[in-house]
Amino acid sequence: MRETLTTLAVLLSLLLAAAAADHDGKLTPERRRELENKALELNQEGGRQYERGNPFKAMALLSEAVAVHRALYPKDRYPNGHPDLARSIRNLAGLHYFVGEFAKGKPLFREALGMYRALYPKDKYPNGHRNLAWGIDGLALSHLAAGEFARAEPLLREALDMCRALYPKDMYPKGHPDLARSINNLAELHLEAEEYAKAKPLCREALDMCRALFTKDKYPNGHPNLAGTINNLAALHTLAGEYAKAKSLSREALDIRRALFPEDWYPNGHPDLVPRPQ
């Protein structure tokens, strides 16, 4: 504990010095790169700790990454924010979401999205931007987790429309992972809202796209996105009482996840192998 506190104290002193220096325009390019690399390392290690089943360690690391980025990109000098800061905030919001702390994640999702809307305005990005679509999806999913379907749906549709514009069929004949994810997210909303007729074509479209994108020859163990879309279609069949179809798909998704996250690599398991908190 003492070592951790010492590390945090050193980091805090560095951040305060960086913030003061940057405010005065004295932060050298070398020092800025050092802090940017530090934030990147914190985000990456946070992701690794989460995958290893250590969400609280991950939370501390991602919180530090946000603090570093806030010091690097203060509001008075970056009134629209910065892509690295927005991504760091969204990463932390996403972790709160995945561990079931929806109330803590929502204001962070909202802050990140506000930043993305300022950074990628419609007049400069008529088709939107990948980061903006991700930001919209994040806030939408936080509303969905809270059962706020009326707030989530327009955001999910906005994100999907943006992805369809960013990844048109003539340029991406097999689709795109971001587009498949966005379709799957809207399908999940309709599943949660028990609007099965609306969910079914979206589930099938997302799954067909993922099967085309994550083929067996390129992904012999499958892919997490493929497993997720298979699971959604399985859920739809279960709700429709088509248990044989649901069982086959659920087993396929589980086999993919067991191959992707084997016990010898993940002795504590992996978040994708357990149900997400509701």
Q: What is the pLDDT of residue 189?
A: 95
Q: Tell me what the mean pLDDT of segment 89-109 comes to.
A: 94
Q: Tell me what the mean pLDDT of segment 2-7 comes to.
A: 38
Closest to 95 measured CA to CA, from 58, 43, 134, 40: 58
Q: What is the pLDDT of residue 1?
A: 37
Q: Which two tokens stand for residue 233?
A: 């279609």
Indicate the residue type of 10.
Answer: V
pTM value?
0.84
In the predicted model, is pLDDT for residue 205 greater than 80?
A: yes
Return the percentage of the chain with pLDDT > 90, whole number. 77
pLDDT band at 277, cuts 50/70/90? very low
Q: pLDDT (tens digit, 9 = 90+) per residue, 215-260?
A: 999 999 999 999 999 999 999 999 889 999 999 999 999 999 999 8
Tell me the longest C-alpha to C-alpha distance in the chain. Answer: 67
Q: Which two tokens stand for residue 106?
A: 């929502």
Q: Tell me what the mean pLDDT of segment 17-44 comes to.
A: 76
Q: pLDDT (tens digit, 9 = 90+) per residue, 34-85?
A: 999 999 999 999 999 988 888 899 999 999 999 999 999 999 999 999 999 9
Separation CA 264–CA 92 (nearest Å): 28
pLDDT band at 26, cuts 50/70/90? low
Q: In the CATH scheme, what is the homologous superfamily, with its name and number, of domain 167-278?
A: Tetratricopeptide repeat domain (1.25.40.10)
| Domain assignments of the chain as residue spans, ordered by start | 167-278
Separation CA 97–CA 139 (nearest Å): 10
Q: What is the pLDDT of residue 240?
A: 87
Q: Tell me what the mean pLDDT of segment 7-15 comes to.
A: 43
Separation CA 142–CA 145 (nearest Å): 5
Q: What is the pLDDT of residue 174?
A: 97
Q: pLDDT (tens digit, 9 = 90+) per residue, 146-165?
A: 999 999 999 999 999 999 99
Q: What is the mean pLDDT of the chain?
A: 88
**Residue 20 contacts by C-beta under 8 Å, 6 or more apart in sequence?**
none
Indicate the residue type of 62.
Answer: L
Q: What is the pLDDT of residue 28?
A: 83
